[in-house]
Amino acid sequence: MGNEDAGSSPAIVFGDERPPPLPPRPSQAIEGGHVVTPVERPQLQSKPTTAVSSMNIQTLSFPDGSRGTFSTNNGNVSTGADQIDVMPEQSTRSRGLSTGGSDLDEAMSVMSFAPTLRPPGDLESLLVGDMGKRSPAWALLHAQSSAVQPFETVKSSKMAVLTNFEHEFDDIPDVSENWNDEDRLQMWKSKLKHFMILSSAGKPIYSRHGDLGLINSSMGVVQTIISFYEGAKNPLYGFTAGDTRFVIATQGPLYFVAVSRLGESDSQMRAQLDALYMQILSTLTLPTLNNIFANRPSTDLRKPLQGTEMLLSSLADSFTKGSPSSLLGALECLRLRKSQRHSINNAFLKARSEKLLYGLIVAGGRLVSVIRPRRHSLHPSDLQLIFNMLFESGGIRSGGGENWVPLCLPAFNNRGYLYMYVSFLDGQAENETTPQTSTDNDEEIAIILISTDKESFFALQQMRDDVVTELKRKKLLEIIKAAAQKGRPTIDEIAPGAYISHFLFKSKANVQFCMPSLHPAFNDMVQRRRLMSLYHGLHATVHTKHSHLKVLNCVSEESTSLAWVTPIFELYCVAGPNAPQAAIAQAANKIIQWAKREEERLFIIGGGVF
């Protein structure tokens, strides 16, 4: 029985032996329903060694997207308990600790979790140093990141398509032992951009890549698709297959097709197809073209257009490489002083022949001077056809000397021919006996005289001699040559210290544009195409139908860009991916001020009028 109750019995007695009494229990204080046992601890001999100050730690977001922390110090720094206020109630509730002096010391230690009224002070004690001061390494890194050029860092999937762009213009070889039809077809499919022209009867007329035998079946498929939609009274303007965009333009009996993987908009590609149509009209005129197909719809147009394939290909290649002139629908002029251009115009007008309709001086595809009738002016699209013929295709230039070319300017009059006298100058200012040296296309100078009279060759030839004599006498030919050799100004000359890497500025009133040099950032063909693809995207966005955008900021992993459109001008800027938007806006204002200040040097305002 005694063993059953042993667990509950206070003591077990065996005979007269009793255990010694237990020592007395220490006194226990009851506080807040909890038993608190005081802990004896030796008094610390010194105050805490951690310096704590009342400081606020704040976070700053930088314009490039990075963040940094810094402190705002009120200037009062002290140590130990003088700067720490402990809330005893919260401390005991959260930790179960007593509120004695030893607990206060523990609360002030670095590893303490006891809450304080100023937690930023503890944070500062851990992060020793003045966090408001930017280290030299940080400043250098930030400056370098802002100076990164476009397309230098991340390569997006959109730009990966340009990896083999330098081979875009390689000719597709003929069938041989090393190249069968399958290999040639694969090479044709690898091209990023195609232009095809065919008749409504399905007859192939022109293709930029590959001979007509290679792509005859493809043209047949395209003609079938177009005819199907036309039969349904629902014309087909374009469609997408994978990452490839097809755009179709119908001009009378001709079908024009553009196939692109370069990300251009439909309106931009359609403008390029219109330019190809204008190139055909410049050879045939509209009445001749209509008469050919009115009598025989299945006519093979390759024979009437024989010899112009080089003009079509050079024009198509300029679109593939990226042409600011065709994108903006404007011309670029050679930068000259106002007084110098005025003297050139006067020399032109002084030697004017009665047979003259238009007179042009062009240096490397940039307009130097123009004289025209008071009520007539040349459309930019007509001038682009002339410049393509002279400076891109090389057909006329290879002939050297003088050229007499019948030409239709469709925007001026698509029903008849004008006659163009072309003479290339060697740029030598002293005398014509100096042997000509090979010059770059950007430095070639040409005099272009246009007349409605097909018998005016000798009259225009005499005018050319008089103009050259006057230009040499006043040393104006030297000035033109020097300006052409100098090239476009650099971005540092236009806006020193700006984050901008490149820009396009269009004056709407003058239908002309200017831009800085492409060197050195965009000298490579691939880099230039990337730049033009970016400009195409900006232009397409701000000119989308029903779009009311005036200012567009675009930020990507590869670049930062800005488009600014007003009734007076259009500005497109490109900078690196880390460039601050505020800095880009400031640089854009500098460019606009520069263009306004240099307007009469950058643009031809009116020209010479007779």
pLDDT at 242 over 70: yes
Distance CA 595, CA 489 (A): 12
| Run of H or E including 99 | none
User: What does the pLDDT read at residue 100?
Assistant: 45
User: What does the pLDDT read at residue 588?
Assistant: 95
Higher-confidence residue of 424 and 231: namely 424
pLDDT at 185 over 80: yes
Look over the chain and give the mean of its residue pLDDT values, rounded to a whole number.
80
User: What does the pLDDT read at residue 376?
Assistant: 85
Cα atoms in the 13 Å half-sphere on the side-chain side of 74: 10
Asked whether the beta carbons of 510 and 605 are under 8 A apart, the reply is: yes
Q: Which of 204-218, 338-352, 474-488, 509-523 has the lowest mean pLDDT?
A: 204-218
Distance CA 210, CA 91 (A): 85
pLDDT at 494 over 60: yes
User: What does the pLDDT read at residue 413?
Assistant: 93
User: What does the pLDDT read at residue 30?
Assistant: 53
Q: Which of 10-24, 88-102, 382-396, 415-429 has the lowest mean pLDDT?
A: 88-102
CATH topology identical between 331-486 and 491-609: yes
User: What does the pLDDT read at residue 68?
Assistant: 57
Per-residue pLDDT, averaged over 340-359, amounts to 95
Higher-confidence residue of 236 and 233: namely 236
User: What does the pLDDT read at residue 499?
Assistant: 87
Residues of the chain with pLDDT > 90, as a percent, come to 50
DSSP 118-186: -HHHHHHHHS-S-TTSPPHHHHHHHHHHHTPPTTSS---HHHHTTTTGGGTTPPPPPS-SS--HHHHHH
Identify the CATH class of 165-321: alpha beta
User: What does the pLDDT read at residue 130?
Assistant: 52
User: What does the pLDDT read at residue 276?
Assistant: 97
Ordered by start, the domain boundaries in the chain are 51-141, 165-321, 331-486, 491-609
pLDDT (tens digit per residue) in 356-404: 999 999 998 899 999 999 888 889 999 999 999 888 776 676 656 789 9
CATH T-level fold of 331-486: Beta-Lactamase (3.30.450)
Distance CA 292, CA 409 (A): 20
Higher-confidence residue of 275 and 581: namely 275
Per-residue pLDDT, averaged over 205-216, amounts to 87
CATH T-level fold of 491-609: Beta-Lactamase (3.30.450)
pTM: 0.74
SS3 state of residue 525? helix
pLDDT at 318 over 60: yes
Higher-confidence residue of 291 and 497: namely 291
User: What does the pLDDT read at residue 78?
Assistant: 42
Structural tokens at position 358: 């238009």
User: What does the pLDDT read at residue 503?
Assistant: 97
Q: Which of 66-80, 178-192, 549-563 has the lowest mean pLDDT?
A: 66-80
Q: Which residues contact 528 (CB under 8 A, 6 or more apart)?
A: 321, 322, 518, 522
User: What does the pLDDT read at residue 364?
Assistant: 85
- Give the residue from 139, 62, 59 showing the smallest Cα distance to 583: 62
User: What does the pLDDT read at residue 575?
Assistant: 92
SS3 state of residue 446? strand
Query: Radius of gyration of the chain from Cα atoms?
Result: 40
Per-residue confidence band for 497, with pLDDT thresholds at 50, 70 and 90: confident
Higher-confidence residue of 344 and 556: namely 344
